[in-house]
Structure 1
Amino acid sequence: MKKELRIKGYLLIVISIAAVLLSGCRKSDDVFGLKENGFVDFVFSREAPQTRADIGEDGSGSFTDGDRIGLYIYGAPSRHIVLTRQNGTWTPRLRKSDLGEGLVTLSAYYPARDDIQDEVTDNRHKHSVSTDQQAEGYEASDLLWSNRTINTATLIGSRIELPFSHGMHRLKINIASENGTLPTDLSVKVSNRTEGSFSLYTGKPNDPFSNQEWVIPRAVTENSGQFEAILFPSKLNNYTNGWVEITANGKTSLYKAPAGIGGSASLESGKETTLNLRLKTGGGIDPGPEPEPEPDEPDPEYANKTCWVYGIKTPETPDYPRDNEESVPDGGYIPENFPSGIWFHTTDREFLNWQSTYRWYDCDKDNPEVGASRPGYSDWNMCWAASASNLLHWWMYHNRKYIELYDRQYNANPWPRYPRPSAEFSDKKKSEIFNFFRETCQNRGSSSHFGVNWFINGNSVGIGAHNMDVYNNFGGYFTELFKNKDVAKNYRPLNKSNFNSIIKDAFEHNQALGFDIGYPSGGAHAMVIWGAEFDENGYISAIYYVDNNDYYNFAVSGGSNNYQHHRLIRRKVTYRETDVYLGNSQTVINSLNVIDLGLDVWREAFPAVQPDEE
């Protein structure tokens, strides 16, 4: 699991919230078993050495004989097997053929349960946390979880590694008093939706729908004011009316959950939040400012890497030659002479011309300048729709196998007035998806995540349609599966910490990225990120993006203008004070839009599909 930045801030005089990853250096379980007998050698890595919830400083520890691990093999239905370690071997022994053919998704959890029932048909692993964690309930609430998809056809040897991470969220509460003495009647309760589940396909926790209950945390040491609770991951907005209840000096105070922690709107799986509270005289607790980022901490896992959005990097797509920048040619200013297949430099940034073997998309406006009258649509305020179209091209291409089955089972064109546009992209003709938005929506601003969700599930929030006919006769092209399920989310405001953590999380979970910028003179603009470079400390130093305003850049009056108009842009990212900027300009990156493929929804509907590994 990747290292996350910690967030610390002050709520009240000294109320701080810190989100950190519950991870450590991992020691692998020893491998036993004969390679030639065809059995699979499962290698489980365990973060927590003594108990599931407590982490040792060095992360040491391994499984011992008698330990039991539950293993799900995803399918329709899934299969559940309890593996027991006996004489250094996980039994019963399994062969590759027991797992299935092709892409196989495995989920493992510790400790194993014997009461698994509808989990295998619902394709979700249920888990609950104890409401009384003062003693055994604390350890029993934790869960070690692993999810991985492998290709048995290309698996070399018989070794399958399944690294565990903590499935729950840990809340640490540190309480101090203004007068230095804690009251004798000090007590704490935490609100949590205590019952939930994990998807057996994606491995992600589903936001729980159980009733909220009060959890009594454990006291780390008696009369220390330090408490810890294991909570089921869930959205913070579940607790905006009350999250932590503190009783002191005969008075009860209720602390409400903030809108976000560490750039996330959720209590995330495998993370830890530290809440530092100082009691005012008389026991009161007041709200305060939002969290501020801690000083930078290196992230070695991403140091000096170049990462691309899922499916974008084809064999023909070149990385920018960071170690040999002098090899990047100067493209000059004549676009007909710009090179193909390699990065080139012109003006103050680098470019890569589009070609048909690339998998990134670049929908452009017909009239990017306000009030322009070139042939085509009046679309100068529709950057959000162009960006949404790029993201939908990506979404439909990588879901193409599922969409083929969806069309067979459901109506491929449920809205006769607005037939579903093709996902094909070419530099020879306009995008049909972008045309759909330009024909149905007003030429005014919005956000790309609104456009993506409307296109897929009919959620019209943020959409300014031309007229009521559009609202009445269009409700999303994939509502049979995605009704009330938004695949696109917007994150704002941004700082160095959450900008990096959100983008890294998107890379790790096969998600696409839109972003919005704000100009110093006012106004905003929506674009799409297809890749990023990281510096020696693991922070984003440059992004690769497409700009829907640049179709006519480099055009020469009276020239042939017969050149490649679609290009990927490389530009450095800088961090100043609390903001993220494009290059050394005053242009601020205001928000990120994250688009999920929705594979958990697709896979539940069509479990037989084997998505391509891209």
Structure 2
Amino acid sequence: MKIIKKNICLIAILSGVVGLSACSQDDALTPDSGTDNGNTIRFTTAIAGFTGSDAAADPATRATINDDGKGSFNNGDKTEIFIAHEDRPESAMIYPAIFRNGTWEADNLTWEGFGNSAELNFFAFFPARTYMETIQELTLPTDQSTEEQYAATDLLHASSLHRVESDGAVPLDFRHVMYRLTVSLSLSATPGTLTQEDVNNATIVIKNMRSTGTIGYDGKVTTHRTLSDFTPLKSTDGDGNRFRAILFPQPVVSDTPWIEITVSGQIITYAIPDGLTELRGGEEQVVNLALTNSRTN
């Protein structure tokens, strides 16, 4: 427990990092005609969703997030599947794919086209990203205060490695590339003169986070050292004191100013705590902050 006093104080509980819970794979289907030449490359798919909070209250990101926190794609969604030979990983071929009947379908995609004994690596993004080069620049929106801006920050990636024809359907299990920070504000049990209305009207800025980087078709992210401040999305579903921001996976340094709260006309800052050295892609950190201006805390 860490207490910071600057007229108004906060009592912070840094919840453990929460990983991802993948939904069950959809069964791979035969084409609409009901026939399958046995050589077609077929796929199953799943989405891993952020967990650790009330899934029913989670704002939607790129894909549909159900009440249980699992995700799903919609008929007509599009992606591009990158396929590389295991012994030539730097040379990927790109195949447009569409989501139909619970799976991804790509026209004229067969094992025979690669040589039936080929060992292949498969990669995909959602939303689709077209790569003319193996590495692309990526910039995160720093204003995520609306659901549209927040959703535009999310990026899903799937990889399936060392696949051969005898393995059967290729699993494309999508994960969140980015890290999610959730900040929950509440009124301390000893609030002093601070009121619940003050807490309800509080605002938050996430400070000193990297905003630019690169990403390869294999999903690997490298960040630049450019630091920016981020405006998170505030919940509007009745849990109005919960804020979320999607951030790059990145190294962090303890005691760096991180969460800046403006409440009742004053500003207080919660620093990156000791022991937190890295924000990892696909993980969520929940920080619970209890606000007070009582000097007895």
Q: CA deviation digits over 1:78-127, x for unaligned, max 9?
A: 3333312356661334112455764432221111135x333x2x3xx654
| Cα distance between partner residues in 1 of 2:63 and 2:41 | 29
Q: Does 1:140 align with 2:152?
A: yes
| Cα distance between partner residues in 1 of 2:95 and 2:141 | 25
Which residue in 2 is equivalent to 1:117?
132
CA gap of 1:93–1:127, structure 2 versus 1, over 3 A, is farther
Q: Is the 2:25–2:45 contact (alpha carbons within 8 Å) kept by the matching residues of 1?
A: no
Q: Is the 2:28–2:42 contact (alpha carbons within 8 Å) kept by the matching residues of 1?
A: no
Unaligned residue ranges in structure 2 (runs of 5+): 4-9, 50-54
Which residue in 1 is equivalent to 2:11?
14
Amino acid at match of 1:41: R
Of the three residues 195, 215, 231, the one matched with 1:216 is: 231
CA gap of 1:197–1:72, structure 2 versus 1, over 3 A, is farther
Which residue in 2 is equivalent to 1:225?
241
Which residue in 1 is equivalent to 2:41?
40
| Cα distance between partner residues in 2 of 1:176 and 1:81 | 49
Which residue in 2 is equivalent to 1:274?
286
| Cα distance between partner residues in 2 of 1:93 and 1:137 | 36
Q: Does 1:171 align with 2:187?
A: no
CA gap of 1:157–1:173, structure 2 versus 1, over 3 A, is closer
Structure number, greater radius of gyration = 1
- SS, match of residue 260 in structure 1: coil
| Cα distance between partner residues in 1 of 2:221 and 2:92 | 17
The structure in which a higher percent of residues are strand is 2
| Cα distance between partner residues in 2 of 1:278 and 1:193 | 27
CA gap of 1:11–1:91, structure 2 versus 1, over 3 A, is same
Structure 1 residue 57: Cα displacement? 4.2
Q: Is the 1:29–1:45 contact (alpha carbons within 8 Å) kept by the matching residues of 2?
A: no
**TM-score normalized by structure 1?**
0.39
Which residue in 2 is equivalent to 1:81?
95
| Cα distance between partner residues in 1 of 2:263 and 2:74 | 44
Of the three residues 164, 187, 194, the one matched with 2:211 is: 194
Which residue in 2 is equivalent to 1:245?
260
**TM-score normalized by structure 2?**
0.75
C-alpha RMSD over aligned residues: 3.1
5 Å-filtered alignment, 1:408-557, equals none
Q: Is the 1:29–1:63 contact (alpha carbons within 8 Å) kept by the matching residues of 2?
A: no
CA gap of 1:251–1:165, structure 2 versus 1, over 3 A, is same
- SS, match of residue 204 in structure 2: strand
| Cα distance between partner residues in 2 of 1:254 and 1:213 | 16
- SS, match of residue 152 in structure 2: helix
- Report the count of equivalent residues: 262
Amino acid at match of 2:141: S
Q: CA deviation digits over 1:287-336, x for unaligned, max 9?
A: xxxxxxxxxxxxxxxxxxxxxxxxxxxxxxxxxxxxxxxxxxxxxxxxxx
| Cα distance between partner residues in 1 of 2:274 and 2:96 | 40
Unaligned residue ranges in structure 1 (runs of 5+): 1-9, 287-614
| Cα distance between partner residues in 2 of 1:53 and 1:182 | 34
Larger relative contact order (C-alpha < 8 A, sep ≥ 6)? 2
Q: Does 1:90 align with 2:105?
A: yes
CA gap of 1:76–1:60, structure 2 versus 1, over 3 A, is closer
- SS, match of residue 137 in structure 1: helix
